[in-house]
Chains A and B, each alone.
Chain A
Amino acid sequence: MGSLVAIRGLHKAYHMGDETVHALDGVDLDFDRGEYIAILGPSGSGKSTLMHILGFMDQPTSGSIIFEGEEVSSLGADRRAWYRSNRVGFVFQSFNLLPRLTVLENVALPLLYREDSDREANEAAAKHALERVGMLHRLEHRPSQLSGGERQRVAIARAIVGKPSIVFADEPTGNLDVKNVDRILDLLGSLLAEGITVIVVTHDLGVAARARRIITMRAGKVQEDRRQ
């Protein structure tokens, strides 16, 4: 497996009034393609900030990120949007499906913002992704008509519809019952076979145990990087 991301000396500082908070304080990490990684850590440890920066939602204060061989640490907003639409997928704790859109439309949403967006092709890709998560029978339903587990499967379909390099899952099982937790984690694990790097951000040790590599964050630094 080749290297996907290389992070060196990553810093992120927030200014809150007169105080400066160092959310990330010198992080060095390497991720390969097809890796299953869990990032553990208490609130305020910097794991969310790391995910946002790696997910092209935020910019670091300093440091370098080489993503697929390119330096991406100081991209403009539109360029970062391009990466979000073409290279990464997000799965959230609260699903974050748009209530007014159907399941099919929700899944096709990331493709809508691509340059080569085409309605029929988008729908075909969305159906393919829904088939992958076993939700093909709910195309025209609204999110409110689905159970929590079903919603999260739809959200995973949305995350993989654009054939991303990385899928970020932020506490993906936090709102699910026990029965669905395994199913969702299995589903996330199965993405590795397609060469997708899965990064699960959690503070649930059980969830983290599924990953082959566990990174523990504390006070903006990597405290432990363990492979199992």
Chain B
Amino acid sequence: MKIFDRLRPAVINGLRELQANKVRSLLSMSGIILGVASLVAMVTVVQGMVGNFRQFVDAMGGIEKIAVDRQTLPKEQEHLAELSEGITLRDVDQIRATIPLIRNISPEVRVGWEKVVYEGREAITLILGCTPDYLPVAKRWIDPGQGRFISDLDILHRTDVVILGSSIAADLFPPNVDPLGKVIRVKGKRFTVVGLLNNIEGAGMQIRSGNSKGGGGMWRWRNSGVFIPVTTATSKFTGNDHLTGLGLRIADANDLQHTVDQVERSLLQMHHGLKDFNISTNEETLESFKKTESAFKLSLGGVAAISLFIGGIGIMNVMLASINERIREIGVRKAVGARGSDLFLQFLAEAAVISVMGGVIGLSVSMGIVWLMNYILTQAIPTQAVATLDWKIMAQGLGFSVIVGLVAGVYPALRAAKLDPIEALRHE
């Protein structure tokens, strides 16, 4: 038996019923429409969100980065404070010597938020003492023609050179002045500008505001800051050899946990067992993003599942009502030779047609939702489209609606198939 030949008239008949009962069909579709729309919009938006998280984490140095920060001692160790000298360059040497998994290590001294001045123009920004390794650890660089970064010689000679973040350069210097070689005052002391750090344009995300030079929006903080040799920072500003933190980059993200353990052991040993540091990784950030993601998926997925379920009940309800109205039709069809299976197929096809139509409408609604959410998000945060519709997700949404329609149609279709033709013909 050619199932296709039997399906064709069944589907045509379903479409005809749909057309004949437009309002009722639309009402019965509403659950499916809502379910498919929320399902597709949810998956799309969550996927877009996760994509943005990844970019964000990457801009933070990627998941191969480990950050070690100074931390006050836990209460039970407070009385031992003088035993440890905090994080110092000796820790750097120790780590470099004992942990080969670490590719780059960047000692950092946060001098603090201070005033930088050039010919009456000023800005307040973070002053960071660091070494040449800062660049690979932070995944930053200096574009050709924009000078150089801190060199080993700068570290050795504690030179008074400074590298500016692009937004600080824009704040301090008029557009027609080349900052390179100019002398600025950093916390009152004279420094020569030798380089400009690359401008972050959102690591793949477009920054909308074109007027503020050096970028803006949520990435602005990444383009601010001034950088001086770490030895200059300790000798000129902080007056001791304490570092505020270390940035470590490992070669392979798979070694992350392993390396974190080694760093912790090594530092504890150097610090006589005192936990005056905190080790963090972007993996934790990513993890928390993932938790947010699954929370979103769970709640929105629940909404979608419930609406699909209700959609199924709606279809079943309408199908049962429709069969009740068409008992005579069923009788006539049986009288002229329709088998139970023919009527089963006919009513199942009708339910499927309703659900597919609902699914298609739901997909177009989901496009609207995604567009709206993108619109709102780009208004709130100056980033480009956060989510794009994926045909795979849309196909899945449609697939779900078909399944719901078929499942919901089985019981009514069975009832139609089992009706006794004589009884059905007598029905008024």
- Residues 1-27 of chain B: 1 if any A CB is under 8 Å from the residue's CB, otherwise 0? 100010001000000110010000000
CB of A109 within 8 A of CB of B425, answer: no
Q: B342 contacts the other chain (Cβ, under 8 Å)?
A: yes
Q: B334 contacts the other chain (Cβ, under 8 Å)?
A: yes
CB of A78 within 8 A of CB of B5, answer: no
Q: B333 contacts the other chain (Cβ, under 8 Å)?
A: yes
Q: Kindly name the residue among A78, A90, A113, A117 whose own CB sees the greatest number of chain B CB atoms within 10 A.
A: A113
Q: B340 contacts the other chain (Cβ, under 8 Å)?
A: yes
Q: A110 contacts the other chain (Cβ, under 8 Å)?
A: yes
- Residues 310-345 of chain B: 1 if any A CB is under 8 Å from the residue's CB, otherwise 0? 000000000000000000110111111111111000
Out of A78, A92, A117, which one reaches B339, CB within 8 Å? A78
CB of B337 within 8 A of CB of A78, answer: no
User: Measured between C-beta atoms, what is the minimum distance from B107 to chain A in Å?
Assistant: 82
- Residues 160-204 of chain B: 1 if any A CB is under 8 Å from the residue's CB, otherwise 0? 000000000000000000000000000000000000000000000
* Interface bracket on B: 20 to 34
Out of A81, A86, A100, A158, which one reaches B334, CB within 8 Å? A81
Q: A18 contacts the other chain (Cβ, under 8 Å)?
A: no
Which residues of chain B have C-beta atoms less than 8 A from A183's C-beta? none
- Give the size of the chain A interface in residues (CB under 8 angstroms): 27
User: Measured between C-beta atoms, what is the minimum distance from B417 to chain A in Å?
Assistant: 10
CB of B337 within 8 A of CB of A82, answer: yes
**How many pairs of residues, A versus B, come closer than 8 Å at their CB atoms?**
61
Name the CB-closest residue of B to A84: B337
CB of B338 within 8 A of CB of A81, answer: yes
CB of B5 within 8 A of CB of A84, answer: no
CB of B20 within 8 A of CB of A100, answer: yes
Which residues of chain B have C-beta atoms less than 8 A from A113's C-beta? 333, 336-339, 342
User: Measured between C-beta atoms, what is the minimum distance from A5 to chain B in Å?
Assistant: 18
User: Measured between C-beta atoms, what is the minimum distance from B381 to chain A in Å?
Assistant: 54
Which residues of chain A have C-beta atoms less than 8 A from B332's C-beta? 96-98, 109
Q: B218 contacts the other chain (Cβ, under 8 Å)?
A: no
CB of B16 within 8 A of CB of A100, answer: yes
CB of B336 within 8 A of CB of A85, answer: yes
Q: A77 contacts the other chain (Cβ, under 8 Å)?
A: yes
Q: A75 contacts the other chain (Cβ, under 8 Å)?
A: no
Q: A115 contacts the other chain (Cβ, under 8 Å)?
A: yes
Query: Bound complex: CA of A25 vs CA of B20, how far in Å?
Result: 46
Which residues of chain B have C-beta atoms less than 8 A from A109's C-beta? 332-333, 336
Report the 4 A-B pairs with minimum CB-CB distance, sorted nearest first: A85-B337, A110-B336, A113-B337, A81-B339
Residues of B within 8 A of A (CB): 1, 5, 9, 16-17, 20, 328-329, 331-342, 421-422, 425
11 additional A-B pairs beyond A81-B342, A82-B337, A113-B333, beta carbons within 8 Å, are: A57-B422, A77-B340, A81-B339, A85-B337, A85-B338, A96-B331, A96-B335, A96-B425, A100-B16, A109-B332, A113-B337
